[in-house]
Structure 1
Amino acid sequence: MKSLMEWFFTTLGAVVVIYYGVKLLLFTRMLYPKRWFPLPKSFFLSMGEWAVVTGASEGIGRQYALALAEQGMNVVIMSRTKVTLDKVAKEISETTHRMVKVVVVDFTKDNIFNDIEEELMYLDIGVLVNNVGMLPSVIPRRFLEEEDLDQIITGVINCNVKTMVKMCKIVLPGMENRRKGVIVNIASGIASIPFPLYSLYAASKIFVERFSQGLHAEYKDKGVIIQAVTPFGVSTRMVRYQQTNVAMLSPRDFVKSSMQYIRAGDKTYGSICHMFLGWLLNSIPLKILHTESVLHGLQEYVERKQEEKKSSSSVISEA
C-alpha cells in the first residue's frame, strides 16, 4: 500500500510539473512573437487582394486599414461618417498607392447587410477586421442607470454582436472556397471576467471572443485563421483619447503589435503589456473585484480622469 501511494503522488507531481512547464513554455512564446509566429513578408497579400475593416474612420480600425494597405492590400473601409472615411481613404491612397473603397453604413441600424453584401460582391477578400464597437458610457454605470436604455441595448447588440456575425457570414464562404483567409474580431480585455458597471459592453465582447474561438475550431482545417483580439487600454475616442503609456497604447502601436500575433492562436491580447494585465485581472478573486468599495473606487477614478481631461482640453483651447 505504501509503495502504491508513493507511486500515485510521484506520478501526480510529475503530471503537475509537466502541465505547468508546458503552460510556462506557451507563455514565453508570447514574449517573442517574431520568433515563434513568424509571418512571411507577403503573408497578408497572399490571403487575397482585398481587406475589409469595419469602424475604420478612426482609432484601431483606421490603423488596421492603413497597416494592411502598407502590406500591399486594397482596402474597404466602413463606418457611418462619410467625411471622415473620405479623409482616411485619401490618406491611405496617397501613402500606400493602394485602392480604397468607401462604404458608409451605420452598424447600430437593422437591415443594412444586403447592401453591404452587394458592395463586397466579386471582391477577393483575404482579410476581415471586425473592429466596429459601441461603448454605452466611458463612466462606469449600473445597468439601469443608463439613459435611453432600450435604444442602448439595441445599439450594442447590433453594433458589437450582430455586425460581427453577419460580416463573417458574408466574407467566410469565399475564404472557405479559396481555403485561405484571416478574420480578426476585436473583443476587449475587460471581458476576461464578469465586469460590473460595464456589464452590457463586457457581455457583448465575451460573445465576440467565444464566437471567434468556436469559428476558428470549425474552419482552421479549411485554411482560415479566425482570431479574437482582446486589448485593454488603447487611446481612442472610446476612452476619450487618454494619454499613452506602457499600458495605454496608441492605436498605431497596438495594431503593429497585434498583427505579429496573427498565427498565435484563436485569442490574443495583442501586446505583451496587455497580456500581463489579463493575467493580473484573472488572478484577483472576483469576491474582491466585485465588492462595493472597489466598484465605487473605479467609478470615482474614471470620473476624476474624465474631469482632468476636460480641464486640460479647456486650458489648451484657451491658450
Structure 2
Amino acid sequence: MAGAAVAFLFVSLIGVGALYLSATCLRVLAHLALCLRRPIDLRRRYGSWAVITGPTTGLGRSMSMELARRGISLVLLDLDAANLDEVSRTLRNKAHPDVLIRTVVFDLSLVGTVAGDEAMRRLKDAVEGLDVGIVVNNAAVARPGALYVHEADVEKLTRMMQVNVMALSEVTMALVPGMLERGRGAIVNVGSGSTVAVPSFPLYTVYSSTKRYVEHLSRCLHVEYKSRGIDVQCQVPFYVHTGMLSPAVKQTMRFPAFVATADAYARDAARWIGHGGALCVPDASQQLQWFLAGFVPDVVHDWYRLRRHLQHRAILWSLAAG
C-alpha cells in the first residue's frame, strides 16, 4: 500500500509538472507567433487618440513615442508643464506627421482634493469629442523603497498609494464611458514583476502591494468589459533601464541581459495590446524569467528577496550617509 501511494504521488507530481511546462510552452509559442505576425493597426482597431500618464520619462516616454510612430495622437498627463512641453516638441519632430498632441498638467498625487478635481475636469475637457481608444496608465511612484515599513515617511507612502492606486482608478473611470459609447477601446495598466514572479517583495512592501491592486483591478475589468469591446490588460515589466531603478538595484544587478531598454520594451508592449488576456509579460527574456521563477519554492524566493533587498537598504543608507 505504501509503495502504491508513493507511486501515485510520483505520477501526480509528474502530471502537475507536465501541465505547468505545457502552459509555459504555450505562452512562449504565443509570444513567437505574435512576433511573426504583422502588428495590428491600433488606430483602426481602437481609435485615433491615446491618453498616457507619466509620459515624460522612462517607459511612459518610450510608449508615447511608439504609439505616435504608429500614427496615434496623444493626450499626455504629467505634473510638470516644462517636461510636457519638452516631450511634446520631441514627439512632433519624430512622430507620424498626422499626430496631434494635447497636454494636461495633472499632479496625480492630488486626486480626491480640490486641485485634483480641477485637474480631472481639465482632462475631461481635453478629451471631449476625441476618439480616445487607448489609455496607458503608466505613471507610478516607486520610492521610498528598500525600507522597513516603520522606517518610511508616511506622507511619501501615502503619495505612492494616491498615484499608483487612486489616480489610476480615477483616470480609468473617467475614460471608460466614452469607450462604451463607441463600443471599443483598450486600457493598458502597467504592473510589476514584483507581484507576478515572486510571492513577496519585502522592503518594497507598499509599492508591490499597490501593483497587486493594479493586477487584480485589470483582471476584473477585463471580465467586466471584454464583451463590450474594451480590452483591459495589465502589462508586466520586470527590470527595465529607467529612472525607476535605484542605485542600489543597479549595483546588485546579477543578470543585466534580462534588463530591457525602455524603447525595446515599449515596442513589445505595443504589439501585445489586445493580446494575451488580462495579464501579460511582453518581453520574451522576462517571460523566461517568469517561467524559471515558477520552479523555485516560495520559501526560497522569500529568503532570497529579503537578503537581496537588505543589501539595497545597506547601499542606500551608505549613500545617504556619504
Contact 1:143 1:197 (C-alpha < 8 Å) held by counterparts: yes
Residue 290 (structure 2) aligned to one of 263, 273, 278 = 278
SS at the partner of 2:67? helix
Describe the superposition over 1:61-107 as per-residue Cα deviations: whole angstroms up to 9, x where unpaired. 11111111111111011111111111100011121232111111111
Q: How does 1:171-182 map to 2 (within 5 A)?
A: 171-182=175-186
What residue in structure 2 maps to residue 145 of structure 1? Answer: 151
After superposing the two structures, state which structure 1 stretch, 57-66 or 277-286, moved more.
Answer: 277-286
Amino acid at match of 2:193: G
- CA separation in 2, counterparts of 1:280 and 1:15? 18
Structure 1 residues 225, 145: closer, same or farther in 2, change over 3 A? same
Structure 1 residues 17, 109: closer, same or farther in 2, change over 3 A? closer
Amino acid at match of 1:268: C
Describe the superposition over 1:17-61 as per-residue Cα deviations: whole angstroms up to 9, x where unpaired. 984575144223244042576533x23343112111000111101
| Count of matched residue pairs | 297
Kindly state the Cα deviation for residue 219 of structure 1 after the two structures are TM-superposed.
Answer: 0.9
Q: How does 1:207-222 map to 2 (within 5 A)?
A: 207-222=213-228
What residue in structure 2 maps to residue 316 of structure 1? Answer: none
What residue in structure 2 maps to residue 103 of structure 1? Answer: 104
SS at the partner of 1:141? coil
| TM-score between the two structures when normalised by the length of structure 2 | 0.82
Residue 125 (structure 1) aligned to one of 127, 132, 150 = 132
Structure 1 residues 45, 217: closer, same or farther in 2, change over 3 A? same
Describe the superposition over 1:149-169 as per-residue Cα deviations: whole angstroms up to 9, x where unpaired. 1x1232112100111111111
- CA separation in 1, counterparts of 2:259 and 2:28? 22
What residue in structure 1 maps to residue 188 of structure 2? Answer: 184
Amino acid at match of 1:115: R
- CA separation in 2, counterparts of 1:35 and 1:59? 23
Contact 2:201 2:306 (C-alpha < 8 Å) held by counterparts: no
- CA separation in 1, counterparts of 2:144 and 2:33? 34
What residue in structure 2 maps to residue 300 of structure 1? Answer: 311
- CA separation in 1, counterparts of 2:219 and 2:167? 17
- Does 2:261 match 1:261? no
Amino acid at match of 2:271: Q
* % identical equivalent positions: 23
- CA separation in 1, counterparts of 2:44 and 2:316? 41
Residue 114 (structure 1) aligned to one of 118, 121, 126 = 121
What residue in structure 1 maps to residue 55 of structure 2? Answer: 56
Alignment root-mean-square deviation, CA: 3.0
SS at the partner of 1:237? coil
Contact 2:54 2:77 (C-alpha < 8 Å) held by counterparts: yes
What residue in structure 1 maps to residue 73 of structure 2? Answer: 74
What residue in structure 2 maps to residue 39 of structure 1? Answer: 39
Q: How does 1:155-234 map to 2 (within 5 A)?
A: 155-192=159-196, 193-234=199-240
What residue in structure 2 maps to residue 4 of structure 1? Answer: none
Contact 2:147 2:313 (C-alpha < 8 Å) held by counterparts: no
Structure 1 residues 13, 199: closer, same or farther in 2, change over 3 A? closer
After superposing the two structures, state which structure 1 stretch, 58-67 or 257-266, moved more.
Answer: 257-266
Contact 2:55 2:61 (C-alpha < 8 Å) held by counterparts: yes
Kindly state the Cα deviation for residue 268 of structure 1 after the two structures are TM-superposed.
Answer: 0.9
Kindly state the Cα deviation for residue 212 of structure 1 after the two structures are TM-superposed.
Answer: 0.4
What residue in structure 1 maps to residue 3 of structure 2? Answer: none
Q: Which runs of 5+ in 2 are unaligned?
A: 1-7
SS at the partner of 1:290? helix
Kindly state the Cα deviation for residue 15 of structure 1 after the two structures are TM-superposed.
Answer: 7.8
| TM-score between the two structures when normalised by the length of structure 1 | 0.83
What residue in structure 1 maps to residue 258 of structure 2? Answer: 247
Contact 1:37 1:260 (C-alpha < 8 Å) held by counterparts: no
Kindly state the Cα deviation for residue 307 of structure 1 after the two structures are TM-superposed.
Answer: 7.5
